[in-house]
């Protein structure tokens, strides 16, 4: 026994001696540092200190500076204890793939230091300068620069990739692009439809500089104007294996938004949280991966600047956030394809991002009206009755929808011959009334109809359009009609088949748009009806935290074969590829501007589709969280977005539905949708007081549609946001950084909804300046403060920002009617007496009007006691339309008289209490220059 003990001690001593020798050698080899300036700013924030932020210019002004200083430590044989001594919030997890014991942790060369609480900082974490890739010389290429990265020894990951190819590109002055690939093997890479053409910038114009640490490899991106570090990946090692890619970076601040789709506030929680990007049919709730994946985030910096980062990767992605502040990307496939957008302001960041993924489509005008839907309108007569009751109760409504009730045995591209036998006639009736009609279209195609009886499947079988399993047979899942096959929209032949199916159906039922649901894709069985093979695709070495525990839970097998790659690589893009196919088909079949609404999403979907936020519940919390959901989709380049008004799941209440209709009147996309098992929630089912409040909200929205349509034009043509977070418009106002209970339309209209039950007043933040109540012009002179505003049940607070002019139109029951009504202007004068606004106008339905120059564009300016219109472009769309009146907020004293194009106007009044001038009974042609003056 004593002999055994002595041997054990000897072995331990030998192991210790060898590990000490290895460690001393490791420290000597890896004591490298970035080139830094000697100047250090005093009184840094904690985030800046960890970033190594430096406000001075780099000593070398080239875009890339690469250098290694001699050993910066006095003692090269620093102990492991020194390397492991760091604040808990600075730790980066070394055991993300699995739970490790102390021994297993230290065998990885990592530090092990338990903490009193199990949640929060990791116990097993990387020491500083953990060995990793070494970078070779950075050499010029035609696109930028490149280098080789190699590992001296493999990491702990299975199928580690020991050599990488680094390529860096200056895409534009504000966009830095970096890729890391395996040079020896072609891996899947995401190819988005082409975005906006990029113009290469001169080196001296770029907004960033970069530095590289060669061993272990890492890079730093700085803002050139002040030296602030935007990214610093030297804080933790780069890992790159076949099914595990990891990259960490310190963050410039804790003010991070994006990384959707999740049920979160606008600002993300950095207190050791993780977000998984894996498209899933999952009703919105906290700590779950939802319908869409958007690996993009925007960071607000301390001085009002902003930057964004986009990882172009469609595999399952997990993002870890920690209070350092720092972030770690983990992708389980593909490559690291990273874009950094330097802004420098928040709106510029979004513009730079959309240059990569594409600008959003221009929606048809009618799609901005009110939409009504329910799962449970079981017949055409029921559907007709709903539309008629809305009309009888004088609720504006443009679009009637049907859920899957219409389909024969739940099969898409059919309609039930008994319950919906006269569906074509009903649609034509809606069209004659100036309304539109949309129905649901799931991707799953029933596979069990007798041969020759269901052409979508029969024809699809002949044309080989369906996703196949690993053995080359059609993969069969299960959705509403039972066993189903799933179209592979990455296959061009599938897109042609899809167009043919839509054309055939549209020839019978002339729908105006399509609602593509269940396209994560969702399935009621795991993988397929036959299960999935046991492979590394189905059971990856590392699976991010996903609802259901496995990647194939509630969807297809990961080993399923598509034209471009496996479903493992393409899953998150399924909705995008279907939206592209549907948008293209509608464009060719109808010859008009398409309307598509998708549940699943991925970067670039805004080019083809709007999005709704899925199966929200009828409760106050979900009402409140619908605002950050809508705002985040705006950041993702999907401005046409909304939540199911009054909630989809569960029974609403009258008060909740009123408040939701009021908020929903300011969703860019406005639809009331309900599940079939719930109490009805159409506006006409409630009491008269509630109906009046809902009618008022709808009429207000319809009056604002010319303004909203103009905002969509700017989104389509220049990547401006429609529903806009306050921080984007007021980036230097610290109070706006986290606000997500209020939002803006464009830069000029502030919406402050009631979000709590029983509330009849609310505290609303008004940024510095004068804001006028949209309802009566009452001015609020804010120094940047919260004000307590009355908010009775019939009111939603909306305020116009000084210096802006909002074009409006008299509302009607449909946009077809309201578009013929007189316009009026709401003019919100600044303290100096000026204001500006604009109007984009076309026929609302024709394709590519902006691109072809087939539109009207009018500028409105106010100053020196007059309002002037300036039609910069005309095409006839405004012919016959007139300005019927205007209201001017902030007129300091009663006018002596008012002139319209030089002629005296009789119908005007002035309120001294609110300082509002109202002019009515005008008939000034909108297609001509006009001037309205008032003499003080």
- Active-site amino acid positions: 517, 520
Give the bridge partners for 932, in sequence order.
867, 900
Q: Supply the DSSP string of 37-103, one letter for each residue.
A: -S---SS--HHHHHHT---SPPSS-SSEEE---S--SS-TT--HHHHH---GGG--BS-SSS---HH
Neighbours of 305 (CB within 10 A): 25
Non-local (6+) Cβ contacts of 715 within 8 A are: 359, 360, 639, 721, 722
Evaluate whether 96 touches 542 at the Cβ level (below 8 Å).
yes
Total H helices, total E strands in the chain: 18, 52
Residue 644's φ and ψ, nearest 5 degrees, are: -65, 110
The residue behind tokens 């004593």 is 2
Q: Supply the DSSP string of 359-399, one letter for each residue.
A: PPPPPPGGGGSEEE--TT--SHHHHHHHHHHHHHTT----E
Retrieve residue 485's tokens. 């096959």
Q: d(Cα 538, Cα 553) in Å, to the nearest integer? A: 10
Q: Supply the DSSP string of 704-761, one letter for each residue.
A: THHHHHHHHHHHHHH---SEE-HHHH-TT-GGGTT--SSEEETTTEEEE---STT-SE
Neighbours of 527 (CB within 10 A): 25
Residue 445: its H or E element: strand 445-446
* Number of Cα atoms under 13 Å in the Cβ half of residue 861: 7
Neighbours of 503 (CB within 10 A): 14
Q: d(Cα 203, Cα 224) in Å, to the nearest integer? A: 12
Give the bridge partners for 163, in sequence order.
150
Non-local (6+) Cβ contacts of 655 within 8 A are: 690, 757, 758, 793
Q: d(Cα 770, Cα 881) in Å, to the nearest integer? A: 32
641-642 sheet: strands from edge to edge: 641-642, 610-612, 596-598, 513-516, 436-440, 399-402, 370-372, 670-672, 644-645
Of residues 617, 822, 634, the one with CA closest to residue 714: 634
Q: d(Cα 7, Cα 19) in Å, to the nearest integer? A: 18
Of residues 825, 788, 786, 829, the one with CA closest to residue 932: 825
Q: Is the torsion defined by CA of 96, 98, 102, 103 positive or negative?
A: negative
Q: d(Cα 391, Cα 674) in Å, to the nearest integer? A: 19
Evaluate whether 657 touches 686 at the Cβ level (below 8 Å).
yes
Residue 532 class from Cβ within 10 Å (0-12 exposed, 13-18 middle, 19+ buried)?
Answer: buried
């Amino acid at each position: 026994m004593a002999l055994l003990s002595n041997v054990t001690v000897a072995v331990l001593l030998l192991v210790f001696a060898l590990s000490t020798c290895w460690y001393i050698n490791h420290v000597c080899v890896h004591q490298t540092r970035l080139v830094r300036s000697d100047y250090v700013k005093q009184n840094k924030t904690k985030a800046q200190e960890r970033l190594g932020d430096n406000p001075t210019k780099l000593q070398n002004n080239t875009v890339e500076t690469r250098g290694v200083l001699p050993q910066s430590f006095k003692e090269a044989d620093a102990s492991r204890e020194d390397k492991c001594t760091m604040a808990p919030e600075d730790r980066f997890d070394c055991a993300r793939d699995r739970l490790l014991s102390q021994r297993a942790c230290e065998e990885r060369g990592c530090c092990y230091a338990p903490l009193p609480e199990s949640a929060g900082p990791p116990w097993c974490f990387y020491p500083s300068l953990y060995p990793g890739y070494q970078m070779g010389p950075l050499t010029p290429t035609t696109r930028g620069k490149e280098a080789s990265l190699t590992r001296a020894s493999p990491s702990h990951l299975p199928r580690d990739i020991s050599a990488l190819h680094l390529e860096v590109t200056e895409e534009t002055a504000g966009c830095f692009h970096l890729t890391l690939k395996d040079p020896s093997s072609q891996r899947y890479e995401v190819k988005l439809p082409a975005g906006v053409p990029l113009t290469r910038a001169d080196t001296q114009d770029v907004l960033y500089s970069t530095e590289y640490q060669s061993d272990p490899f890492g890079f730093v991106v700085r803002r050139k104007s002040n030296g602030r570090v935007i990214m610093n990946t030297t804080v933790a090692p780069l890992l790159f294996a076949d099914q595990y890619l990891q990259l960490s970076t310190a963050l410039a601040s804790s003010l991070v938004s994006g990384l959707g789709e999740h049920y979160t506030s606008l600002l993300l929680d950095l207190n050791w949280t993780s977000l998984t990007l894996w498209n899933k049919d999952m009703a919105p709730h906290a700590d779950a991966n939802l319908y869409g994946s958007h690996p993009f985030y925007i960071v607000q910096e301390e001085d009002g600047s902003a930057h964004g980062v986009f990882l172009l990767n469609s595999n399952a992605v997990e993002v870890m956030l920690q209070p350092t502040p720092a972030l770690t990307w983990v992708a389980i496939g593909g490559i690291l394809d990273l874009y950094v957008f330097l802004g420098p302001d928040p709106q510029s960041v979004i513009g730079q991002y959309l240059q990569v993924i594409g600008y959003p489509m221009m929606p048809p005008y009618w799609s901005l009206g009110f939409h009504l839907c329910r799962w449970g309108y079981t017949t055409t007569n029921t559907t007709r009755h709903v539309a008629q009751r809305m009309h009888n109760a004088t609720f504006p409504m443009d679009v009637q929808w049907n859920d899957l009730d219409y389909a024969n045995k739940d099969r898409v591209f059919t309609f039930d011959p008994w319950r919906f036998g006269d569906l074509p006639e009903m649609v034509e009736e809606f069209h004659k009334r100036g309304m539109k009609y949309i129905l649901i279209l799931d991707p799953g195609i029933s596979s069990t109809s007798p041969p020759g009886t269901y052409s979508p499947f029969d024809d699809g079988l002949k044309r080989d359009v369906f996703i196949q399993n690993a053995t080359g047979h059609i993969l069969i899942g299960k959705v509403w009609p039972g066993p189903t096959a799933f179209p592979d929209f990455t296959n061009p032949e599938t897109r042609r088949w899809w167009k043919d199916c839509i054309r055939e159906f549209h020839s019978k039922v002339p729908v105006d748009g399509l609602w593509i649901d269940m396209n994560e894709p969702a399935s009621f069985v795991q993988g397929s009806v036959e299960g999935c093979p046991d492979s590394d695709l189905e059971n990856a070495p590392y699976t991010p935290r996903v609802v259901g525990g496995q990647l194939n839970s509630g969807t297809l097998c990961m080993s399923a074969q598509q034209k471009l790659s496996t479903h493992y690589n393409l899953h998150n893009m399924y909705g995008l590829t279907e939206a592209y196919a549907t948008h293209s088909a509608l464009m060719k079949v109808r010859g008009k501007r398409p309307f598509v609404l998708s549940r699943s999403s991925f970067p670039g979907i805004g080019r083809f589709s709007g999005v709704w936020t899925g199966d929200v519940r009828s409760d106050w919390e979900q009402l409140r969280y619908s605002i950050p959901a809508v705002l985040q989709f705006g950041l993702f380049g999907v401005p046409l977005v909304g939540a199911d008004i009054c909630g989809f799941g569960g029974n609403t209440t009258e008060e909740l539905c009123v408040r939701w209709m009021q908020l929903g009147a300011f969703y860019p996309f406005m639809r009331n949708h309900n599940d079939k098992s719930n109490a009805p929630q159409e506006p006409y089912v409630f009491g008269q007081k509630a109906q009046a409040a809902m009618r008022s909200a709808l009429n207000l929205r319809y009056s604002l549609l010319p303004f909203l349509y103009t905002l969509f034009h700017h989104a389509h043509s220049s990547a401006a946001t429609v529903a806009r977070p306050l921080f984007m418009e007021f980036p230097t106002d610290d109070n706006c950084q986290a606000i997500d209970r209020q939002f803006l339309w464009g830069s000029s209209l502030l919406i402050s909804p009631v979000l709590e039950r029983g509330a009849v007043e609310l505290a609303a933040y008004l940024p510095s300046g004068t804001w006028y109540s949209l309802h009566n012009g009452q001015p609020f002179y804010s120094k940047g403060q919260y004000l307590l505003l009355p908010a009775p049940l019939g009111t939603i607070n909306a305020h116009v920002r000084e210096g802006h002019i909002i074009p409006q139109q008299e509302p009607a029951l449909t946009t077809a009617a309201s578009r013929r009504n007189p316009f009026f202007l709401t003019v919100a004068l600044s303290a100096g007496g000026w204001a500006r606004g604009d109007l984009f106008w076309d026929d609302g339905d024709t394709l590519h009007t902006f691109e072809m120059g087939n539109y009207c564009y009018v500028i409105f300016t106010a100053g020196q006691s007059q309002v002037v219109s300036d039609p910069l472009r005309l095409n006839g769309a405004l012919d016959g339309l007139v300005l019927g009146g205007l209201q001017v907020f902030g007129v300091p004293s009663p006018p002596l008289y008012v002139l319209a194009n030089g002629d005296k106007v009789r119908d005007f009044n002035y309120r001294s209490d609110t300082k509002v001038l109202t002019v009515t009974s005008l008939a000034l042609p909108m297609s001509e220059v006009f001037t309205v003056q008032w003499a003080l």
